[in-house]
Amino acid sequence: MTPLVERPGALWLDTGTPEGTAAGTSYVAAEPALWLRGRGDTLEILPGPLGDRGWGARVAAMDPGVGEAFDRLKAIARGLTTPMLQAVGEARFPGGLAGFFSYDLGRRFEEVPATIAPHSADVPWDFVLGLYDEVLSLDGRTGVRRVHRLPGSARRLERHTPLLPSRLPDVPGAAVLPQPEMTRAEHAEAVRSIREHISAGTIYQANLTLRFRAPSTHPRAPLATFLRLQASNPAPFAAYLDLPGMAVVSTSPECFLSLSADRRALSRPIKGTAPRGADPVSDASFRQGLLASFKDRAELTMIVDLVRNDLGRVCALGTVSRAPELRCEAHPTVWHLVADVQGRLRDGVDGLDLLRASFPPGSCIGAPKIRAMAIIEELERSRRGPYTGAIGWVSADGGLGLSVAIRTLVFREGEVSYGVGGGIVYDSDPDREWEEALLKGRALANALASSSLPLTSHARAGN
């Protein structure tokens, strides 16, 4: 039996745990009934790899047919919501829409002009989502599997359905190392420009992206890269998306938005990174150093204020947390400085209203958000696409589960690309920012170059 992740339209989404570890729940599916692709006023609804299984007519009846693509998507998502699935508890994915929302969708929400000329391999869509009517979940802590189906869906999956291949696909490593779009001198000039804006009082900080590109033509390269990253750089929100004409691979540590069925909204911004130590003493020293870092704490505090403001647009008065505690979160290779921002949605709004109010993720933009986005548009060389957008689901029980699409690779048009970013403040040093960008991209470059990493125990549990 062909493993799910090797079938057309395959989807793998990890949810992580509240502690930030990778051993949460994984949702795996394939062969969606429909694809929904949106850009501006255009919404395309395409049959899935094996046909629409009757969903085409049902979705067409929900679609108003006119207006912005995102508003039409909202109407479809509301039509898919199934009250019988609703249950109080954590955000989960029993089926519904899953895929990515591009950073460029946020420019439409905030009316930031698009001035960056597109590259031939750039993603032209603001969002690409599959309608998955049957999903298999795997509990990473207990190994328990469950099959979830939307009402009226045919039975195709069983709990014993294999999720992953027993070995890595036989794909050679990349022959050419990814190359940055900016030179070191150009990147330093962009950092200095942001510092000048900060000095002038225009912004407090901005996140600058450095994009890397390399040729990639092997059809199984995206899956091989995903499995290599699971082995070498596991993350709470790992993702693999096999989409029409492209694939997205992510190993994100950051929860952008989580909305449970009882309407509790959560965002968990990250700012500040320190390496893990080789022994308990050095590990504790790195952790304490990050906690004591004035620069990192100030950056995260600014982003927390931004996120609180975003959630306040759609949450009931007085429910948004006032002063989240900043804490260090342990990941396999790094420490991150993290905060939780929570609220409860007010009546009459839903998960996509929450997305619109919060998008794009503030931790990858800067503050104030709209001005920072305009400066980003002036300085960066290419459109971000899925990078610093969001990956995850809009579920049929009214929930939402989205990660921030960082540490994310996009395979399209014979090329693989990824972005790495850094929050620039007045005290930022251009040389250190360049070195940090290279460091952040190292795991992605290694996953593209290597062809011999074994599967992790987490991955083997999916067989």
CA distance 157 to 154: 9
- Phi and psi, residue 217, nearest 5°: -120, -10
Number of domains in the chain: 1
Q: What is the CATH number of the domain that holds 398?
A: 3.60.120.10
Domain containing residue 405: 4-460
| Phi, psi angles (nearest 5°) of residue 174 | -60, 135
pLDDT for 462 equals 47
Question: Under 8 Å CB-to-CB from 264, ≥6 apart: which residues?
Answer: 342, 343, 344
pLDDT given at position 313: 96
What pLDDT shows up at residue 173?
67
Of the candidates 291, 422, 423, the one whose C-alpha atom is nearest the C-alpha of residue 367 is 423
**Helix, strand or coil, per DSSP, at residue 452:** coil
Tell me, what's the pLDDT at 394?
96
Q: What token pair was written down for 442? A: 């190292």
Structure confidence at residue 211 (pLDDT): 95
Weakly modelled stretches of the chain, pLDDT under 50: 18, 20, 88, 452-463
Rounded CA gap, 339 and 368, in Å? 19
Q: Is 254 a catalytic residue?
A: yes
User: What is d(CA 290, CA 294) in angstroms, rounded to the nearest whole number?
Assistant: 9
- The 10 Å CB-count burial string (b at 16+, else e) for 373-394 is bbbbeebbebbbbbbbbbbbbb
Which entry of 271, 329, 380, 440 is annotated as an active-site residue? 271
440 noted as active-site residue: no
Question: What are the E-state strand segments in 40-194?
Answer: 42-47, 96-101, 127-132, 134-139, 145-149, 179-180
Nearest to 448 by CA among 220, 139, 210: 220
Give the Cα separation of 377 and 383 in Å (integer): 8
Contact partners, residue 411, CB within 8 Å, separation at least 6? 216, 221, 222, 246, 247, 248, 249
Distance between alpha carbon 325 and the CA centroid of its chain, in Å?
24
pLDDT given at position 40: 93
Q: Is the pTM of this model over 0.85?
A: yes
Which pair of structure tokens corresponds to residue 91? Answer: 């955000």
Question: What's the CA dihedral at 66, 72, 75, 79 to 10 degrees?
Answer: 100
* Annotated catalytic residue within 254, 299, 380, 433: 254
Half-sphere exposure of 25 (CA within 13 A, CB side): 16
Rounded Cα–Cα distance for residues 247 and 5 (Å): 12
Rounded CA separation 353/398 (Å): 12
Q: Which of 29, 42, 33 is nearest to 80 (CA)?
A: 33
Instruction: Report the helix count and the strand count for the chain, using DSSP H and E.
Output: 11, 23
